[in-house]
A and B are shown apart, each in its own frame.
Chain A
Amino acid sequence: MKEYTPEYVGSVTKYVFVDSPNTTPQDIAIAAYEVAMGVMIKETCFGVQVTGTPDEVTRVVDALRKLDPYHIFIKDRGFPPGDQRRCRANLGGARPGYLGHEYEISLARFISYGLRETDTMNDNDLLKAAVPIRRASPLDIDDLLSIIETEEA
């Protein structure tokens, strides 16, 4: 164990992801610099990371979301950008947590479509649209056994 002195105490970091046919991460970065006013902006391949006081970060991400509301997704990040425990420059390979983002951004097109479609729905339409998603149940073990036995016969 060693003594630990934290950096960026009191700051908040948020990820801004974009998955859009019309808006690129570069557009997001330029727009972020325009409204940054001293807030730290880090450009990434998927959008930007914004670090600053909670109020400043909220102001910047709210402005960015307006660029393409159905295709921009925002979440909190625990570590500040460049933290040696997470930054891939120190670790090598993909940053821990990247695989989760990669998986979820593959769903972004369905969520974006859902956001667009539900935007104008009233409460009754929302309840009608909120049907549980059904998945086919996995193969029953007895069925699998009978298939194996049939193949062997």
Chain B
Amino acid sequence: MAKVFIYPATSLMLSDLVARFGHEPLGSALSIRDHIQTPGFDSPPLQITPEDPKKGLRWAAVEVPSGVRGRMSIYGPLLDAAEAAIIVDDAEFAFGCMGCARTNELLIFRLKQKGIPILNLVYPKTQDEGVAFVASIKSFLKELGGDEQ
């Protein structure tokens, strides 16, 4: 069973397909869960504490804005654990503010730099594209090993 990073990291479909075909999806929910189940300090209404941009320094340089570094403290541990990645290009719902956009760019850059197997896709808009989408993911994951559920 390989740990497969999914982008968009909140994707329902990628998370489901990776788990369905016998691997572990690494999505933002896992990091968020760790984050909110750890006792410490909270800064309502923000859910990022001043410690997080410091942790983010492991994955982003000091001159990178703190918003990006704070987000990288969520994604960074997943990035380190990833053994493969599935990236959906131009995902409409991954659109966000400039902090999210820059974090996404950095995230994809770091994934490519890591040298792990990466599958690039776009979301399907027809039934035939749906077959191509699922077949691409299924054959990519089969190459990584693992059993279908």
A residues within 8 Å of B by Cβ? 1-6, 8-13, 15, 17, 62, 65, 73-79, 83, 85, 97, 99-101, 103-105, 107-115, 117-118, 121, 123, 126-127, 129-133, 135
Residues of chain B contacted by A114 (CB below 8 angstroms)? 124, 127, 130-135
Q: Are B27 and A73 in contact (CB under 8 A)?
A: no
Does B28 belong to the interface (CB within 8 Å)?
A: yes
Chain B minimum-CB-distance residue to A2: B42
Judge if B122 is at the interface, Cβ distance under 8 Å.
yes
Contact A113 B93 (CB under 8 A): no
Min CB distance A134 to B, Å, is 9
Interface residues on B, range: 35 or more
Are the C-beta atoms of A101 and B12 separated by less than 8 Å?
yes
B138 partner residues in chain A, CB cutoff 8 A: 118, 126, 130
Are the C-beta atoms of B127 and A133 separated by less than 8 Å? no
Nearest CB in chain B: distance from A151 CB, A: 29
Given the interface pairs A110-B129, A133-B122, the reply to whether A126 lies near B142 with Cβ below 8 Å is yes
**Interchain CB contact (< 8 A) of B93 among A104, A110, A112:** A104
Cα distance, A122 to B100, chains bound together (Å): 40
Provide the residues of chain A in CB contact with B17, threshold 8 Å. 111
Report the Cα distance A79→B10, complex, angstroms: 13
B121 CB–A CB distance under 8 Å: yes
Contact across chains for B37 and A118 when beta carbons are under 8 A apart: no
Q: How far is the CA of A10 from the CA of B127 in the complex (A)?
A: 40
Cα A58 to Cα B125 with chains together (Å): 31
A1-B41 in contact (CB<8A) = yes
Contacts of B33 in A (CB 8 A): 12-13, 76-79
Residue in contact with B36 in the complex, picked from A76, A79, A129, CB distance below 8 Å: A79
* Residues of chain A contacted by B44 (CB below 8 angstroms): 2, 85
Q: Which residues of B contact A112 (CB under 8 A)?
A: 130
Please determine whether B12 and A5 come into contact, CB atoms closer than 8 angstroms.
no
Q: CB of B87 within 8 A of chain A?
A: no
Minimal Cβ-Cβ distance residue in B for A69: B20
Decide if A10 touches B13 in the complex (CB within 8 Å).
no
| B30-72 vs A, Cβ < 8 Å mask (1 yes, 0 no) | 1111011111111110010110000000000000000000000
